[in-house]
Structure 1
Amino acid sequence: MAIALLGLDAAQAQKPIPPAVPPRLPLTTVFQGDAKFYAVVAKAERENWRNLPIGERTIRIARELVGTPYINYSLEVDDRIESPVANLKGMDCWTYYENALAISRMLKYKPAPYKPQDMLQMVEIERYRNGVCTGNYLSRMHHLEEVFYDNQRRGYATNITSRIPGAQKIHREIHEMTVQWKAYRYLRSDPSLIEPMGRIEAQVSNLPVYHVPKSKVRDAEKYLQNGDICAITSNDPTGYTSHVGMIVRLNDRAYFTHATSDRDKGRMVIIDRPISDYVNGASKHAGIIVCRPNDVPASPLWQNNVARQ
C-alpha cells in the first residue's frame, strides 16, 4: 500500500504491560454491556479474528458496534475515585475507538476465556499515563495529543501524521478543562485538581503536534489503513482536536467511522463519508491527526496455555 512510501522508523521498543489490578469501583459501575461483550468475543473466536493484523481486527470489532447509541460523560462514574470504565451500551467518539481497540488487543494479548476485566485492562493501557490508573483523576489522559504521544513513547502506537505528505506543525494553547472545570464531575467535586490540571494542559500545549490540513486530506487517503485512529483538528486556538474516530477502507477510499452526536445522523456509531469529505464538510474542521496502534506485548499466559495442552 501507499503507506510504505512514508519511510516509517523502526518500531519503538515496547514497554512491559503493567500488572492487572482489580477495579477500584464495583464492576457493575465500571462495566456496562456484558451481553454485547460476550457476543463480540464469541464471534471473534468463531471467525479467528485473532490472527488478523491489528487494524483489520479492530475494524471487525468496530463494525459490531455500529448502531450503538451516542452518550456523553460515560467515564464520569464517581466523585473521587478514578477507575478504567467501559460501556458497550452507549459511547462517545473517544470511547468508541477505545472500546474497539481494547477488545482487539485483548484477543491477541491473552488466550480465552475472556471476561470484562480483561477488556478493562486494555482500556487502562490506552487511556492512562504510562498505562496505569492510580485511582487519581489526573492519571487519566484527557487530551488525545497526549494519548498519542504517550502510547508512541511506550511502543504501543505510531503517530504517522508528520510522515504524510503535506503535514504541518501546529500549536494551540489548551485551557478547556481549567476554564470549563464545572462541566467535569471530578473537578467540581475536588477543585484542588484544577491547578495541577492546568500544568498538564500547559505540557500538552507544548507537545510536538502535526496535522494534515483539510486541503491535503484527499491526497492523504491513500496512506491510511483500516483501524487507524483519526482525530479531527479544530480551528479553535484553545484546543488541538474536536472529534475522533477510525479509518475503514471501502472501495479504495478511507472512510470515517465514528460515534456522532449529530441528530441528523441518528446520534449513534456510524460508518460515515470518506474522511476527506467529512473534514471538508464543516468550516470548524482544520485537518486530521492519524495514529496507528500496535498490539501490546503478549501475556505469559500463552506459554502456560501451550504447556497445559
Structure 2
Amino acid sequence: MMNRRHFLHLGLLSGSSTLLRAAEFLPQNVTFIGVAKFQQVVARAVAENWAALPMGARVAQFGQALRGTKYVAWTLEIDDRIESPSANFNGLDCWTFFEIALGLARMIAKRQRDYSTSDLLRQIEWTRYRGGVCHGHYLDRIHYLDEWFTDNVARGTIRNVTRQAGPVVRLTGRGNDEMSLNPKLYRYLRANPALVPAMRQIESRLEQVPFDFIPKQHVATCEPRLQSGDIIGIVTNRPHVFCSHVGLALRTGDGACRFMHASATYKKVVVDKTIHEYLDAIKSHAGIIVGRPREV
C-alpha cells in the first residue's frame, strides 16, 4: 500500500480559479533533499521581495540563487515502483534546475507568511506531470522536453515563443524513442520492464506532434528577443530524441544573453557563454526552442 498524503489548495492559473491537488506518494525524507538550502533561498527571496519581480526575472533570480549547486544526474529516479513529486537542492541536473527555479518563482508569487517544502512540491507536480497530476505512476511523469512544452503551454504555465523569437524549421525524419530503446538506463523501467511498451506508445504519439525550432545559425540574431527566465531547450542532431539539454536565458549587465544551466561539463550550475556561442561549441547542437514562463 502506498504511503500517500494529499494536499489541497486553491490557486490561480491562467487567470481562472483552479483546484490544485498535490499528492506525495513517498515520505519527504526520500522526495525532498536539501531542506536547509531551500529555506535559505526562500528566506532571501522573501527578504528581497522577489515576488514583486516580473515572472521571467523572478525565474532567473532563483536560477542565479542556485548557481554553484553540484550537477547530479538521475535525481528523479528515487524508487523502483512509486512515482512522487520530488526536489533535490543538493544536486541538480539540467531538467531539475530549470524546473525548480520555475517552481520557486510560481510558489513565491502567492504571498503568505511562510513557505513549506510541500508548497514547492505542489508546483513541481503541476509542471512535471501530464495534466499537472501525479497518480503515483512512473508514466504520469513527462519525460521528454518537447512534450513538457506542449503540455505546459496547454495549461497556461508557459508560452511557446519560439516562432516569435526567430525563424523556425520543422524537424522531420527522426524518432523520439530514446527511453524505450534504452530501458536499462532508467531505474523504474529497469525494475518494471512491463512499462516499456506503454512508454513506446507515448513516444509514438509524441513523434506525430509537429516540432519546430530555431536553427543555431539564426540564434545570434534572435538573442535580442529573448528575455531573462526564458526556458531554452537545446535541440540535438543526435538520433532518437528531439532535445538533449535545457536551461534558462539570462540577460547580463553587458547586454549579452547567456545560457544558465546545470552543466555536466562544469559539474555544477553555471552562467555559461552566450546562447549562440554555447550552441556553436558543440557540433551535435542543432538549435533551440523557447518557452516563456507565464505569471501565476
- Deviation by residue 1:158-187 (Cα, 9 ceiling, x = unmatched): 111122332111133111110100111111
State the SS of the aligned residue for 2:166.
Answer: coil
Task: Tell whether the 8 Å contact from 1:162 to 1:168 is kept in structure 2 after alignment.
Answer: no
Partner of 2:284: 284
State the SS of the aligned residue for 2:69.
Answer: coil
| 1:205 aligns to 2:211 (yes or no) | no
Partner of 1:295: 295
Alignment of 1:37-52 (within 5 A): 37-52=38-53
Partner of 2:275: 275
| 1:261 aligns to 2:264 (yes or no) | yes
CA separation of 1:183/1:216 partners in 2, compared to 1, >3 Å: closer, same or farther?
A: same
CA distance in 1, matches of 2:48, 2:223: 29
Instruction: Return structure 1 stretches of 4+ with deviation > 3 angstroms.
Output: 12-18
Aligned to 1:175, which of 165, 174, 177? 177
CA distance in 2, matches of 1:229, 1:271: 14
1:278 aligned partner, one-letter code: Y
| 1:248 aligns to 2:250 (yes or no) | yes
CA separation of 1:68/1:221 partners in 2, compared to 1, >3 Å: closer, same or farther?
A: same
CA distance in 2, matches of 1:181, 1:87: 23
Shift of 1:17: 4.3
Task: Tell whether the 8 Å contact from 2:166 to 2:219 is kept in structure 1 after alignment.
Answer: no
The two structures, once aligned, show a CA RMSD in angstroms of 1.4
- Deviation by residue 1:57-86 (Cα, 9 ceiling, x = unmatched): 111111111000000110111111100110
Partner of 2:114: 113
Partner of 1:190: 192
Task: Tell whether the 8 Å contact from 1:15 to 1:155 is kept in structure 2 after alignment.
Answer: no
2:190 aligned partner, one-letter code: R
Greater fraction strand: 2
Partner of 2:7: none
CA distance in 2, matches of 1:199, 1:276: 34
Aligned length: 282
CA distance in 2, matches of 1:203, 1:283: 28
2:96 aligned partner, one-letter code: T
Task: Tell whether the 8 Å contact from 2:250 to 2:260 is kept in structure 1 after alignment.
Answer: yes
Q: TM-score w.r.t. structure 1 length?
A: 0.88
Shift of 1:19: 2.8
Q: Which consecutive unaligned segments of at least 5 residues does structure 1 have? A: 1-11, 297-309
Shift of 1:55: 0.7
Partner of 2:221: 219
Shift of 1:16: 5.2
CA separation of 1:80/1:110 partners in 2, compared to 1, >3 Å: closer, same or farther?
A: farther
Fraction of identical pairs, as percent: 41
State the SS of the aligned residue for 2:24.
Answer: coil
Partner of 1:3: none
Shift of 1:14: 5.7
Task: Tell whether the 8 Å contact from 1:14 to 1:155 is kept in structure 2 after alignment.
Answer: no
CA distance in 2, matches of 1:42, 1:96: 19
CA distance in 2, matches of 1:109, 1:209: 34
CA separation of 1:175/1:14 partners in 2, compared to 1, >3 Å: closer, same or farther?
A: farther
